[in-house]
Amino acid sequence: MSTCQHCGAPNKPTAKYCSRCGVALSVRAPLPTGALPANLRVGGRYQIIACIGKGGMAAVYQAQDLNLPGRIVAVKEMSNASSGDPTMYRQAVAAFQQEAKLLIALSHPHIVRVSDFIVEGNKYYLVMDFVDGASLEDLLAQRGQAFDEQKVLAWLSQLCDALAYLHSRTPPIIFRDLKPSNIMVDRSGSIMLIDFGIARRFDPMQSRDTTALGTAGYAPPEQHGKGQTDARSDIYALGVTAHRLLTGYDPSSTPFQLPPVQRLNPSISVTTAELITYCVQNDIASRPQRMADVQRVVTNQLGRIPAGAMLPSGPAVQQSTRPTTRFVQAIAQLSSKQLVIGIGALVAVMVFGILLLGPWLRTNFPFLWYEIPAFLIVGPIAYAAARRIGAAFVAQSATTMIVWCVIWLRFDMWPSPSMFSEFLLGLLLSALVYEFSFYWLDKQTAWSSSGALWKREVMWYGTTTDIAAFCFFMAWNSRNLFSLLLWIGAFALGAGGWFIGDSVRQEVLRRAGSTHP
């Protein structure tokens, strides 16, 4: 079968003139991969617009579907670089045909949809939906620095969903080449998994893969001839991909030995860093066993709400039992102007309230002034918002020092050196209680997806604040310990601090999730 270079119509191999337009059919060597000219028709239906990408295995063109006016598609052309080696060429053709068979049978919002497979002039073409966007590798290069954690987690949530779908097929499909260059992000921010060239169906009767394929740094040890790949192999590649996006580190420079995430990017949360470390274990048995396990942690890190609510595809509102999520979803309906006015008014009320009402409260309501440790609310707010090591300790110790120094200055009642030492001891003890207690809670609940988890957090934050208050006043001013109002107030401050901090975190996640990459 020969194709007319003028109109794209298929003709018999022996034909000298095109049966459609009558133009003489020239005999020429096949064009190099990636060199198809504009306006050439592939399969008589897809008119080439331009080449938009080229690699060692294939080239991709943007094309117009002439049968469906207005429909733009991507045409993937198999490379003919291996045509000189019959064995390699057969393997390349088999891989290309396998990709077509796999993708035509799949239907998932985060997997590119294939609609046609064409063999023409000893060339192989795959027609798929055109993704108007860029790969994560290109976005990373354009940005010049690592992405923020919330954005990466939102992408990971979508990737987990797509990979879990592949692994749930019968038999399971193992992607085997997950990396930033094979992940597209469209203009709405939605992830699209592309390039299934080396994907394979899992066969439990095999002890190892027949061919070692993959990308250096992203492929796990078992993919290099050391065993059979399964769902955990994709989990390894997902961990490496997350590491790359969060740090910018090139994994091919030290395959199987990635430096710790937090060493390269200290801003990454402990749970996310530990998840990546868990995923990239060289021993396949030491990794998470199912993609659903990884997705559960990612969802928890996105605010412990249904993953779909945090995807970058748009600010879709979904119901959640978490009160801070509902609160953020409610304030999200306000305009930016209303939000700014509301926040400004709240800050003004707090500042002037402290300046004007402080002395009055101390004189007229001493039990509120002396027995409600309002400064202890900062630690719960800081940790609930950041969920990072050091957040509670630094915020609480700094705030306690500033608040009490202002009080001593305002009322001219500086403590003696011995009392100041006791004050410092109480300050450190209370801040450490916050740090260790909140961190331990996060460690215990990292793998939980219970809808009622927020209730446990509220109780934990309230009780921890009671313990922090006990440590602070025991070291410095033990007479307050006998006040019931102290314990009630401290518990309320802890619970309220959790609500404020978690609301801030939910709003940051919401904005990160709806922002174009």
- pLDDT, one tens digit per residue, over 402-451 is 877 877 776 677 888 888 888 899 899 999 999 999 888 876 654 443 44
Query: Looking at the predicted structure, is the pLDDT value of residue 399 above 90?
Result: no
Taking the alpha carbons at both ends of the chain, their separation in whole angstroms is: 45
Q: Are the C-beta atoms of residues 313 and 189 closer than 8 Å to each other?
A: yes
Q: Are the C-beta atoms of residues 147 and 245 closer than 8 Å to each other?
A: yes
Residue 24 DSSP code: B
- What would you measure as the largest C-alpha separation in the chain, in angstroms? 106
Cα 356 to the center of its chain, rounded Å: 46
- pLDDT, one tens digit per residue, over 316-375 is 223 345 565 555 445 444 444 554 565 456 546 655 655 566 566 556 656 565 667 778
Hunting for tokens 């860029």 — which residue is that?
Answer: 134
Rounded Cα distance between 114 and 195, Å, is 11
Taking residues 44-63, report their average pLDDT. Answer: 87
Rounded Cα distance between 270 and 443, Å, is 9
Rounded Cα distance between 70 and 483, Å, is 75
Q: Per-residue confidence at 30, pLDDT binned at 50, 70, 90?
A: low
Better-scored residue on pLDDT, 479 or 286: 286
Rounded Cα distance between 436 and 467, Å, is 12
Residue 171: asked if its preceding bond is cis (omega within 30°), the reply is yes
Query: Looking at the predicted structure, is the pLDDT value of residue 211 above 80?
Result: no
Tell me which residue of 329, 219, 202 sits closest to 280, measured CA to CA.
Answer: 219
Residue 57 DSSP code: S
- pLDDT, one tens digit per residue, over 84-97 is 667 777 777 777 77
Query: Looking at the predicted structure, is the pLDDT value of residue 516 above 90?
Result: no
Q: Are the C-beta atoms of residues 178 and 237 closer than 8 Å to each other?
A: yes
Residue 192 DSSP code: E
Architecture of domain 133-301: Orthogonal Bundle (1.10)
Could you give the count of Cα atoms lying within 13 Å of 295 in the half-sphere of its Cβ? 18
Domain 31-129 has CATH 3.30.200.20: yes
Q: Are the C-beta atoms of residues 9 and 18 closer than 8 Å to each other?
A: yes
- pLDDT, one tens digit per residue, over 270-313 is 899 999 999 999 989 899 999 999 999 998 888 643 333 333 33
Annotated active-site residue 148? The verdict is no
Q: Which residues contact 102 (CB under 8 A, 6 or more apart)?
A: 173, 196, 199
| Cβ neighbour number for residue 1 with a 10 Å cutoff | 11
Rounded Cα distance between 169 and 506, Å, is 34
Domain boundaries, the chain: 31-129, 133-301, 365-514
Query: Looking at the predicted structure, is the pLDDT value of residue 35 above 80?
Result: yes
| Cβ neighbour number for residue 231 with a 10 Å cutoff | 23
- Cross-strand bridge partners of residue 60: 53, 76
Rounded Cα distance between 487 and 479, Å, is 13
Give the DSSP per-residue string, 154-210: HHHHHHHHHHHHHHTSSS-EE----SGGGEEEETTS-EEE---TT-EE--TT-SS-S
Question: What does pTM read for this prediction?
Answer: 0.52
Q: Are the C-beta atoms of residues 50 and 62 closer than 8 Å to each other?
A: yes
Q: Which residues contact 479 (CB under 8 A, 6 or more apart)?
A: none
Hunting for tokens 């990160």 — which residue is that?
Answer: 512
Tell me which residue of 73, 72, 71, 122 sits closest to 96, measured CA to CA.
Answer: 122
Q: pLDDT value at position 333?
A: 47
Catalytic residue from among 65, 177, 234, 293: 177
Q: Are the C-beta atoms of residues 481 and 473 closer than 8 Å to each other?
A: yes
Which secondary-structure segment (H or E) carries 330?
A: helix 323-331
Hunting for tokens 């990308």 — which residue is that?
Answer: 215
Q: pLDDT value at position 225?
A: 67
Please report, as a single letter, which amino acid is at residue 481: L
Which secondary-structure segment (H or E) carries 310?
A: none
Taking residues 60-68, report their average pLDDT. Answer: 93
Query: Looking at the predicted structure, is the pLDDT value of residue 508 above 80?
Result: no
Rounded Cα distance between 150 and 429, Å, is 32
